Structure 1
Amino acid sequence: MRFTPFVSRSIQYFDIEHPIHQLPLEVRSLILRYCDMPTLLGLCHDKNWRDSTLQEVAASFRLLLATFTPDPAAFRHMMRRTNTIISGSTALYFLLRSPCTWTPGDTDILVSPAHFDTALEFIMALPGATITHDSHNAPPETYEAIRPNFQRLVKVTTLMAKFDVMMSREASPYHSVAHYWTTLVMNALTADFFVCAYPSLTFSHRGAMKSRHVLPAPFEKYTNRGFQFFTPGGPPTKPDQSCARLIACSRRQRYFGDDNCLVFPIIDDSVSPADDDTETLESSITTAWQLGGKPCGNTACFIPTPRVALTMTVNGGWQAGLQAVQDQ
């Protein structure tokens, strides 16, 4: 697994003789609990902190699941079995870590058409689950803005949380994430790893909008949460220096899993593969996106981006990796 270079500037290479490495495990865990995600990613490069850091990320994921399900292990098993991903504000909340000044209003669940019924059945079995809305029963114009990305939206309320269970239009649920209105929510939590399409922007609380025509409600919601937005693209008159700020040119074709994505494993030693009868699952992500505009002349616009797949392997341990696939 290749870890990304998006590291907090405060992280330096550590002297192995430094007293901080002699701290008891419980003290080290307490320190990690208050570190932001870029700092945790940086600490993973240090062998003295790697194991503790991976444990902290896994513990954070369990705590997140525990906010909306009484059995996080069972929910995670469902995600693995159905290739379900968590996106939207819940995934963003996980990446930014606490203390956040806001909490997600609901949990966005994205499922492929083949596994939608199974995932919905699981969520409906949660305590107090009730369907409050189903797009199948709504007038066609109600969801006109999102219909290009989703076949169906079912809103479910339980005793613990609210869910938006969405069926993607493509076999991979990542297709819908790639077409979200802003880079801020182009993130995904799977059972075994998380993905962030624009880590530099996300961790600086900034988002690029794909279109100037955005519904007021989501824009105002994230603006009130302290996020800033801009719209890239437009007619190029000279090489666009924003390429460097984006770490990926807004005019460049992108794929989940390319060199500009952040992909990080969620390794939970408390869950043994022997306890899970799930066979090897693969989620090939071949959906491309482009934030907008014609090539501006910057060489970054023309760096070839390989088509890739994010592969989750369940075989002797949970592993998250990148597997190149041929561009067809």
Structure 2
Amino acid sequence: MMWEPELPRPLPACILQEVFSTAPIYDLILCDLSPRTLVWLSRTCRRAHEAVTHFTRRAYNINRHLSRYFPDPLAFRSLQARTGLVISGSNALQFLDRSFYPESDLDLYAHPGHVYEALEWLESVGYKFQPESWQQQDWHDEVSADWDGTARRVDRHGEMMINHEPNMEYSDVVGVYTFTRSVAMDTETVVLKVQIIATKCNPIQTITQFHSTCVMNIITFNAAYSFYPVATFEERMAIQIPGSNQLDAVAKYVQRGWRVYAVFGPEHAARPQLFLLDEKRWVGDRHCWSIPLDTTGVTPRPQLSISSEHFSWDPSIENGWIMECGGYSTATHVPKIRTHLVMITIFRYNYSYPDAKLAQAIRDWSLSQGQLNHTQLTRQNWIWFDAEIPRFRGVWSSHGQKCTNYRRR
């Protein structure tokens, strides 16, 4: 009779309880688990749920994460709340991945009309402007503090009316402003680099046109979001988005461990949850990985004007997109990110939607309201109607095309 090894006995419950009651012990275990595994573990028992909750709170401490760049992270996050400034690129990826790239910088994406304030704030905390060869030595000569949100934003053909030349790497970018600051860390001096990216429409429209899906992650003042979390953090894969000239950036993420596809393959067809083709997506939807952030000490967004309804949410969460697959053969099944823009003067911010009919319904409603604004009001007493945006979505999701008969609830 062949000898059969004895199966390992399960650990006594008291030992498991002790492990998940001692932070120094369970931290060593949890730090190597993927986000999805952490979620699964948290559902096994009450003690594991408490351990994962406490670990997550420490692992995703945004104030500690930002303290590398800013001596007062809460002041920066208050700037985010006030302006809708969004962190993306490698920094957001590092935060969600619990990793660290010493050579990486901090990329901040700004809405039109908030670029001046963001640049001015950076200078106030010790950062110095580092112009490129084609830029003015003083950024004040390029960026105006007097943004007129009441002026027409698109022409009759739907093209964005921007005076600046677009960035050649990303067509949705107006300009990139680089700032540096030297700080002493441990026994060496480190040069920190922060870039303000001025967007044509809004940060989400720009981010969804990135070179690949692994960097489609953002941090707002009150939450962090990953748009494709299963592909990015579980499978370590990404789809390259055509149209970007950032081939060197793609190579950089390949070196960091991501498997990048130029076209969709059999695995993507077999596992549609990876990239959710032809599904209308929204920032913070059920397919996103969303991490609420502690906002204690963060100054909320002020009211836009005395007659405008106040809203406290970040403008990014009211944006969406849809990934489509183009081509007629497996060799040309390339991804395409499609959005429909709402750039109307009665809204302080621009929005991008995955649904053309919803975008058109909002534009139609805005015609009459815009006529009232432009004939009866001045810039000083303008009424902004951004608070209506989530209501449109709510009515549309409930009644579909009846949204054209929209009435305020």
TM-score normalised to structure 2 length: 0.58
Cα separation, 1, equivalents of 2:327 and 2:109: 31
Which letter maps to 1:254? R
Residue of structure 1 in register with 2:256 after alignment: 225
Which structure carries more relative contact order (alpha carbon 8 Å, separation 6+)?
A: 1
Structure 1 segments unaligned to the other structure (5+ residues)? 1-14, 235-239, 297-304, 309-321
Question: Which of structures 1 and 2 has the bigger CA Rg?
Answer: 2
Cα separation, 2, equivalents of 1:32 and 1:42: 12
Quote the offset at 1:91 in angstroms: 0.8
1:258 partnered with 2:300: no
Deviation string 1:115-149 (CA, Å, 9 cap, x unpaired) is 222122111222242333387659x8893231x21
Deviation string 1:138-193 (CA, Å, 9 cap, x unpaired) is 9x8893231x21122111112251111011212x4211111112101110011211
Deviation string 1:190-220 (CA, Å, 9 cap, x unpaired) is 1211111111111122111122864331122
Distance of aligned partners of 1:267 and 1:220 in 2 relative to their CA distance in 1, 3 Å threshold:
same
Q: 2:294 pairs with 264, 267, 272, which one?
A: 267
Which letter maps to 2:82? R
Cα RMSD (Å): 3.6
Distance of aligned partners of 1:223 and 1:39 in 2 relative to their CA distance in 1, 3 Å threshold:
same
Which letter maps to 1:53? F
Residue of structure 2 in register with 1:73 after alignment: 74
Residue of structure 1 in register with 2:220 after alignment: 190
Which letter maps to 1:108? D
Greater percentage in helix = 2
Residue of structure 2 in register with 1:9 after alignment: none
Which letter maps to 1:281? W
Residue of structure 1 in register with 2:54 after alignment: 52
Aligned pairs (5 A) from 1:309-324: none
Cα separation, 1, equivalents of 2:127 and 2:267: 52
Aligned pairs (5 A) from 1:154-233: 154-160=177-183, 161-170=192-201, 172-203=202-233, 204-211=235-242, 214-233=245-264
Deviation string 1:298-320 (CA, Å, 9 cap, x unpaired) is xxxxxxx9879xxxxxxxxxxxx
Which letter maps to 1:200? V
Q: Given that residues 43 and 49 in structure 1 are in contact (C-alpha distance below 8 angstroms), is that contact kept between their aligned partners in structure 2?
A: no
Cα separation, 2, equivalents of 1:183 and 1:174: 13
Residue of structure 2 in register with 1:12 after alignment: none
Q: Given that residues 151 and 168 in structure 1 are in contact (C-alpha distance below 8 angstroms), is that contact kept between their aligned partners in structure 2?
A: yes
Q: 1:144 pairs with 154, 163, 168, which one?
A: 168
Identity over the aligned pairs, expressed in percent? 21
Residue of structure 2 in register with 1:131 after alignment: 130
Distance of aligned partners of 1:141 and 1:233 in 2 relative to their CA distance in 1, 3 Å threshold:
farther
Quote the offset at 1:226 in angstroms: 2.2
Deviation string 1:73-119 (CA, Å, 9 cap, x unpaired) is 22222222221111001111112113x5x445211101111322212
Q: Given that residues 277 and 322 in structure 2 are in contact (C-alpha distance below 8 angstroms), is that contact kept between their aligned partners in structure 1?
A: no
Cα separation, 1, equivalents of 2:34 and 2:42: 13
